[in-house]
Amino acid sequence: MSRIAVTLLSSVFFLGLFASTASADCQQMLKEAAEQAAKDKDCQGDAKNLGKAFAKQFGICKGFRDLKKKCRRAKREATRACKSTKRAGKSSCRNAKRDCRSKCKRGRKGRSCRKSCNSAKRNCMKNVRKAKRSCKKAARVEKRACKKEAKTTQAFAVCKDARKVTRKAAGNALKCAGKYFGKPAAACVAELMAGGGE
């Protein structure tokens, strides 16, 4: 989700929170602000433009989103391969230890042999973990490179332009919201902080 969408949704959420928890006076102020904003033709136009910009951006940016999906999918597959390699490595370490101990003598005479087998297994497991970390790091590096490559494509260029249009439309819509809801929201916040809405 884009930062613009998060900002707008957060604004709506907090306004709803104020309306539901604030006093009757605060709720009345928010209601009046909403009515005034609804009558403002410029605000209505800004809201429509924002909706159109979002819809247009969603369609235009599909190619870039698909490229990012491919990057994520490639990383998931690489991570699965890392896990599979780790499982195979652990199994190999256990089998090697079992084979090693089978060659040791029983009792005290085979104690040093068994210790050597245990030590060899620990070293083996350590190497397996190290290999997994290196494998996962390589997958992360590959994903970053993939995303960086995606940003050099025409799909990203047209998506970037569409995002600029959406940001501008969102800025106009937020200005309009601030014009009508700014003071009532600030009053509600002050009231809630002071405990007046209880």
- Confidence band of 131 (pLDDT split at 50, 70, 90): very high
pLDDT band at 13, cuts 50/70/90?
very low
Number of H helices, E strands in the chain: 6, 0
Q: Which of 11, 47, 36, 50 is nearest to 179 (CA)?
A: 36
* Whole-number Å distance between alpha carbons of 93 and 110: 20
Q: Delimit the domains of the chain by residue range.
A: 3-194
- The percentage of residues in the chain with a pLDDT greater than 90, rounded to a whole number, is 54
Q: Hey, how many other C-beta atoms are within 10 angstroms of the C-beta on 92? A: 12
Q: How confident is the model at residue 7 (pLDDT cuts 50, 70, 90)?
A: low
The pLDDT, as a whole number, for residue 16 is 56
**Whole-model pTM over 0.75:** no
pLDDT digits (tens, 9 = 90+) for 70-106: 999 999 999 999 999 999 999 999 999 999 999 898 8
Confidence of residue 22 (pLDDT cuts 50, 70, 90): low
Place of tokens 């569409």: 162
Cα–Cα distance for residue pair 11/50, rounded to 1 Å: 15
Mean pLDDT of 139-148: 95
Average predicted confidence (pLDDT) for the chain: 84
Q: CA 142 to CA 38: how far, in whole Å?
A: 49
Hey, what are 52's tokens? 């159109």
Q: List pLDDT tens digits, range 152-194.
A: 999 999 999 999 999 999 888 888 888 887 777 777 777 767 6
Number of residues written out for the chain: 198
More confident residue, 38 or 52: 52
